[in-house]
């Protein structure tokens, strides 16, 4: 998935209104009908045809037919646009630089932040691979709206930001959280490499202890990382480990807390044995070493990412994982197929050259450009 900064530059007020109208219309419509777009966009003179066809051409929206009518839906590039626009207005992202990571469920870029310093932009892309299977399991959501990649990715970004913030405030070694909007999180750029890429450490035993202490300290604060492995632990040049990637964190009061805790511990034991030939009889045990002394999960809930959000995101992620194990997850996402990256059209040069990618904010349109939270209210 590319992030096309050029698309950010040339956007008229009308284009932007129409794009925002489609985002708002997505609240109740999987495919937003043209008359609703026209109504929400409030364009002087009415007609939206020219703007929607332009947005389709630029691959920010897709046109689709649901047998009753032809309508439009936002695709990832359009959602990226809206988030970047908001963050550029806030000053947290000034321009887009190199892509440094492509995860299964995220894209990571180095971008320029407020004082032109380099920061990390993480775009959450939940459902990129197995959305089609999630759609088949609609029954989870009978009472709610259907799960969409937009909803899931936004929830995931909100969660990551909420946890990172609370952990940072309690002096855990995590990146400094800077901003969050829609499916995007902006955070400090760490001068560090994933443990995965490190073949030798001076004292594996010392690092092992630091990591196990971190798992225990998290648990004493009521939290389990849930994906505590060599990919999500970055090592600074002085050897300090930093923890990243928080969308799957759970509370120690979660029904499966012991399972998640043990899995985190085992990941580290297995990795240290395999990579450094290091084994220790000492490792933390759930219940013995993890007694809760602080309630950070409560603080996370208080920060805006509620228990209800947590439960819903958990169900979605579980659902995606179940589908993964079924071996069906790598089917093309039928609904997002046209925004998927094809190998030959990724525009790496334009992403790489930061100066030419300044986000131009024409300031002509001020309504509705922040995250319209109400879109996802039930
Ligand atoms: P995913 O959810 O896709 O696994 P991560 O948050 O783990 O995403 O990030 C993926 C990769 O991007 C990391 O392994 C790391 O190499 C890089 N990365 C992520 N955040 C940062 C950061 N703040 N500073 C430097 N590199 C980062
Ligand atoms: Mg990761």
> Three-state SS across 129-174?
CCHHHHHHCHHHHCCCCCCCHHHHHHHHHHHHHHHHHHHHHCCCCC
Best mean pLDDT range from 19-28, 57-66, 272-281: 272-281
C-alpha of residue 234 to centroid of ligand 2, in Å: 10
Question: How far is residue 192 CA from its own chain's centroid?
Answer: 20
- Mean pLDDT, the chain, whole residue set: 80
- Which of 188, 194, 244, 321 to probe ligand 1 with, by most ligand atoms within 8 A of CB? 244
Band (pLDDT 50/70/90 cuts) for residue 82 is: very high
Spatial CA neighbour of 111 closest among 176, 185, 193: 185
- Can you read off the two tokens belonging to residue 105? 């469920």
108: Cβ below 6 Å to ligand 1? yes
CA 261 – CA 223 distance, rounded (Å): 9
Catalytic: 171?
Answer: no
Q: Ligand 2 centroid vs 104 CA: distance in angstroms?
A: 9
Query: Nearest ligand to the C-alpha of residue 108?
Result: 1
Residue 361 — very low, low, confident or very high, per pLDDT cuts 50/70/90?
A: very low
**pLDDT confidence bin for 81, thresholds 50/70/90:** very high
Cβ–Cβ contacts within 10 Å for residue 84, how many? 25
Output the pLDDT for position 332: 35
Query: How far is residue 300's CA from residue 290's CA, in Å, rounded to a whole number?
Result: 19
Mean pLDDT of 283-308: 82
- pLDDT for position 144: 38
In degrees, to the nearest 5, what angle opens at C-alpha 180 toward C-alphas 341 and 261? 85
Distance CA 249, CA 230 (A): 16
- Does the C-beta of 231 come closer than 6 Å to ligand 1? yes
Q: Is 242 helix (H, G, I), strand (E, B) or coil?
A: strand
Does residue 1 surpass a pLDDT of 80? Answer: no
Mean pLDDT of 191-220: 96
Ligand 1 binding pocket mutation candidate from 113, 172, 183, 245 (most atoms within 8 A of CB): 245
Q: What is the pLDDT of residue 66?
A: 84
Q: Is 150 in the pocket of ligand 1 (CB under 6 A)?
A: no
pLDDT digits (tens, 9 = 90+) for 93-129: 988 888 898 877 899 999 999 888 999 999 999 876 5
Q: Is 80 in the pocket of ligand 1 (CB under 6 A)?
A: no
pLDDT in tens, 138-162: 444 433 344 588 889 999 999 999 9
Residue 171: CB atoms within 10 A of its CB come to 8
* Pocket flag, ligand 1, residue 236 (CB < 6 Å): no
- Cβ atoms of 239 and 198 within 8 Å: the answer is no
How much is the pLDDT for 209?
98
Ligand 1 within 6 A of 187 CB? yes
Predicted confidence (pLDDT) per residue in 314-356, tens digit: 887 777 665 554 444 333 333 333 333 333 333 333 323 333 3
- List phi, psi (to 5°) of 105: -130, 25
| Percent of the chain at pLDDT exceeding 70 | 76
Going from the Cα of 22 to the center of ligand 1, the distance in angstroms, rounded, reads: 31
Ligand with the closest atom to the CA of 195: 1
Look at residues 315, 82, 308, 320 and name the one whose alpha carbon lies nearest to residue 184: 82
User: What is the spatial distance between Cα 176 and Cα 120, in angstroms, rounded to a whole number?
Assistant: 10
Token code pair at residue 179: 């901003």
103 Cβ closer than 6 Å to some ligand 1 atom: yes
Closest ligand to residue 196's CA: 1
Mean pLDDT score, 173-194:
97
The pLDDT, as a whole number, for residue 148 is 81
**Span from the CA of 248 to the centroid of ligand 2 (angstroms):** 10
Q: What is the pLDDT of residue 195?
A: 98
- Locate tokens 């794009």: which residue? 19
Q: Is 122 in the pocket of ligand 1 (CB under 6 A)?
A: yes
Distance between Cα 108 and ligand 1 center (Å): 7
pLDDT confidence of residue 7: 54
Could you say which of 4, 80, 227, 297 is catalytic?
227
Is residue 358 pLDDT above 90, yes or no?
no
Distance CA(232)–CA(244), nearest Å, equals 5
Segment 15-39, tens digit of pLDDT: 999 999 999 999 889 899 999 999 9
Average pLDDT, integer, range 279-301: 84
| CB 111, CB 95: distance < 8 Å | yes
For every residue of 103-140, DSSP letters joined together read -SSEEEEEEE-TTS-EEEEEEE-TTTTTHHHHHHTGGG
């Amino acid at each position: 998935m590319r992030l096309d900064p050029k698309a950010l530059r040339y956007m008229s007020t009308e284009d932007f209104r129409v794009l925002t109208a489609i985002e708002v219309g997505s609240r109740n419509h999987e495919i937003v009908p043209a008359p609703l777009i026209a109504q929400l966009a409030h364009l002087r003179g009415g007609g939206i045809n020219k703007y929607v066809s332009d947005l389709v051409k630029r691959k920010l929206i897709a046109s689709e037919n649901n047998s009753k009518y032809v309508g439009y839906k936002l695709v990832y590039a359009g959602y990226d646009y809206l988030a970047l626009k908001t963050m550029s207005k806030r000053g947290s992202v000034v321009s887009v630089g190199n892509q440094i990571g492509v995860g299964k469920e995220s894209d990571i870029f180095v971008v320029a932040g407020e004082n032109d310093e380099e920061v990390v932009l993480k775009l959450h892309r939940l459902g990129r691979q197995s959305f089609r299977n999630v759609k088949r399991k609609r029954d989870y959501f009978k009472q709610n709206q259907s799960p969409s990649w937009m909803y899931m990715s936004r929830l995931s970004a909100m969660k990551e930001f909420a946890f990172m913030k609370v952990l940072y405030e309690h002096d855990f070694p995590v990146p400094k959280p800077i901003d969050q909007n829609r499916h995007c999180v902006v955070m400090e750029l760490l001068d560090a490499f994933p443990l995965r890429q490190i073949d030798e450490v001076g004292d594996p035993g010392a690092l092992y202890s630091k990591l196990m202490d971190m798992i225990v300290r998290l648990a004493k604060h009521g939290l389990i990382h849930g994906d505590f492995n060599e990919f999500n632990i970055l090592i600074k040049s002085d050897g300090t480990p930093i923890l990243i990637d928080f969308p799957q964190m759970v509370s120690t009061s979660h029904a499966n807390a012991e399972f998640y805790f043990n899995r985190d511990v085992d990941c580290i034991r297995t990795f240290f044995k395999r990579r450094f030939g290091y084994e220790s009889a000492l490792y933390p045990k759930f219940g013995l070493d993890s007694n809760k002394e602080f309630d950070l999960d409560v603080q996370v809930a208080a920060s805006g990412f509620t228990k209800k959000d947590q439960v819903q995101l958990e169900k979605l992620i579980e659902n995606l994982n179940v589908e993964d194990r079924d071996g069906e997850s790598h089917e093309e996402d039928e609904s997002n197929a046209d925004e998927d990256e094809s190998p030959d059209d990724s525009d790496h040069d334009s992403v790489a050259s930061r100066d030419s990618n300044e986000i131009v904010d024409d300031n002509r349109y001020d309504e509705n450009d922040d995250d319209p939270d109400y879109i996802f209210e039930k």
